[in-house]
Amino acid sequence: MPDGTVTKISPTSAQMKSLRTMPEHFRTSKFGRGSRWEAGWYDPDGIQKKRLFSRRSDAEAFVAGIEDDIRSDRYIDPSARERTFEAAAEAWLASKNRIKDSSWRRYRRELDNYVLPRWGSRAVGSITRPQIDEWISQLRAGTAVFVFDKNGHLNEGGRKPVKMSAAYLRHVVGSTFGGALRYAVAEQWIGRNPLAKVEFPRDEGDIENDLPSLSYVQLDMLASAASAISGRPVDGVLFSMLAHSGPRIGEATALKIKDLDLEQKRARIHRTWTIDRAGLRKLGPVKTWEKRWLPLADFVIDGLSEITAGRDSEDFVFVTVRGAAVDGKNWYNRVWLKARRTVRAAADYSVHDLRHVAATNAIAAGADVKLVQLMLGHKDATETLNTYSHLWPNRVDEVIGAVERRRAEALGLGQLRAL
């Protein structure tokens, strides 16, 4: 001041609006550097929050949006939106306490292979639907960013991604990636799920062929081939159970002799081989936790009686030479890959395809929806119908014929024709 005293004076509103012409005596050592505008607000819990902006207009727009969200009960802490997707995904996976270990390993694998390489470092609140659509296109084409563990691969390049099927893509994007996003919404880290209205592609399927199907002659040839390859009847009996009763390979190889009720022509399915989180084989509950009785044909029962005769009830039904339970993966490589070559129609079939064979033959023999559902262990009939509805006899002609008869009766057309 003129008299030598020091007084703090704030800039006027006009001076604040034009920082470039701000008088020198108002400028500090930090003037013009970094984010110079501070936006402050109180969240619904009464806690004061602050954020810096480089431009006043941005700060004002931010505060206006925050106030509107608070009034409309849509408030999300801005700092939560900046949480990385990887942090959200790890929190989500850690919360999955009810899933089987094999499901946990699948989520872990898909996160590591495809999801985190693309989204891990991104702020969870910055992900948009157009970006997800672009990623889906890349996954479908096999060009998406990926990270595969090279351990166990002979070539230095390791595994390479291929064009992703629609079913696998729905799991990677919809279940694994989407699970983390839904968790973030539930925890109020983001206000809405950018995946909510994303459309997933569908496979056209094989327009030339239907579901896997084999004749009874072909099945008998394959059963004989399975026994001949190993020199042991146990492999032929295992094949016959898979192809005629439709259990999953892990369910069949987990059967113990005490689970068989051969007089009632059935087997109790209530456990399966699975893996723990470290990838080690173990016994666990069946898929979807649905225990059931498996129907057995007489010729399958004859084979089971032969391979279980004189053995302890606690023994596994299907065992190796050393007495251990047959391993499904080992059986695929040791027996099925060789046996399927004997029937050209089955040359490309997986072990799981034998479930479809069992279902198609059962339907052709007159089995209804409920029986097929119980045989295959589907949680409800919807899954059964979605897969096999087209195989049940078409009754359209019956219905149209009944409509014609009722119409004729109502209009007296029968009497007119008689005249």
Whole-angstrom Cα distance, residue 113 to residue 79? 28
Instruction: Indicate whether 244 belongs to any domain.
Output: yes
pLDDT in tens, 331-353: 999 999 999 999 999 999 999 99
pLDDT, tens only, 48-102: 777 787 788 888 887 887 777 777 767 677 777 789 999 999 999 999 998 989 9
**What local confidence, expressed as pLDDT, does residue 396 receive?**
64
Q: How confident is the model at residue 418 (pLDDT cuts 50, 70, 90)?
A: very low
Domain co-membership, 248 together with 177: no
Q: Name, of 214-223, 275-284, 401-410, the range with top average pLDDT.
A: 214-223
Pair 277, 164 in one domain: no
pLDDT at 9 over 90: no
| Claim to verify: residue 159 and residue 236 sit in the same structural domain | no
> With contact defined as beta carbons under 8 Å apart, do 227 and 233 qualify?
yes
Q: What is the pLDDT of residues 247-300, one digit of tens each?
A: 999 999 999 999 999 999 999 999 999 999 988 999 998 876 678 999 999 999
pLDDT the model gives residue 207: 43
Average pLDDT taken over every residue of the chain: 86
- Asked if the structure places residue 282 within a domain, the reply is yes
Q: Please answer whether residues 294 and 247 qualify as being in contact, where contact means their C-beta atoms are separated by less than 8 angstroms.
A: yes
**pLDDT at position 158, please?**
63
**77 inside domain:** no
Q: Determine, yes or no, domain membership for 375.
A: yes
- Residue by residue, DSSP assigns 132-183 as HHHHHHHHHHT-S------TT-SSTT-----PPPHHHHIIIIIIIIHHHHHH
Q: State the alpha helices, DSSP H only, in 281-412.
A: 298-308, 328-331, 337-339, 353-364, 369-376, 381-388, 396-411
CA dist 325 and 316 (Å) reads 6
In a domain, 374, yes or no: yes
Q: Is the pLDDT of residue 22 over 80?
A: no
Chosen domain end from 166, 186, 206: 186
Q: Which two tokens stand for residue 29?
A: 């050592």
CATH of the domain at 319: 1.10.443.10
Q: Are residues 143 and 238 in the same domain?
A: no
3-state DSSP call for residue 68? helix
The helix-helix angle for 369-376 and 353-364 (nearest 10°) equals 150
Lowest mean pLDDT among 195-199, 210-214, 305-309, 311-315: 210-214
Q: Are 178 and 101 in a shared domain?
A: yes
* Residue 208 pLDDT greater than 50, yes or no: no
End-of-domain residue from the set 165, 186, 207 = 186
254 shares its domain with 182: no
CA nearest 184: which of 172, 197, 174, 194? 194
Residue 42 lies in a domain: no
Residues 175 and 238 both lie in one domain? no
**234 found inside a domain:** yes
How many structural domains is the chain composed of? 2
For 364-380, what is each residue's pLDDT tens digit?
Answer: 888 888 888 889 888 88
Are 293 and 377 in the same domain? yes
Q: Are 85 and 123 spatial neighbours (Cβ–Cβ below 8 Å)? A: yes
As to burial, measured by CB atoms within 10 angstroms (0-12 exposed, 13-18 middle, 19+ buried), residue 355 is: buried
Residues 162 and 309 in one domain: no
Give the orientation angle of helix 233-245 with respect to helix 353-364, to 10 degrees. Answer: 60
Percentage of residues of the chain with pLDDT beyond 70: 88
The reply to whether 266 and 347 lie within a common domain is yes
Please tell me which of 10-24, 56-70, 104-118 the model is most confident about, judged by mean pLDDT.
104-118
**Lowest mean per-residue pLDDT among 128-132, 185-189, 413-417:** 413-417
pLDDT, position 359: 92
| pLDDT of 354 | 96
pLDDT at 405 over 90: no
Are 176 and 280 in a shared domain?
Answer: no
Q: Which domain holds residue 108?
A: 85-186
Residue 25 falls inside a structural domain? no
Q: What angle do CA 389, 221, 384 make, to 5 degrees?
A: 15
Q: What does the pLDDT average to over 224-229?
A: 96
Rounded distance between C-alpha atoms, residue 143 and residue 132, angstroms = 14
- Cα 65 versus chain centre, distance: 37
Residues 271, 171: one domain?
no
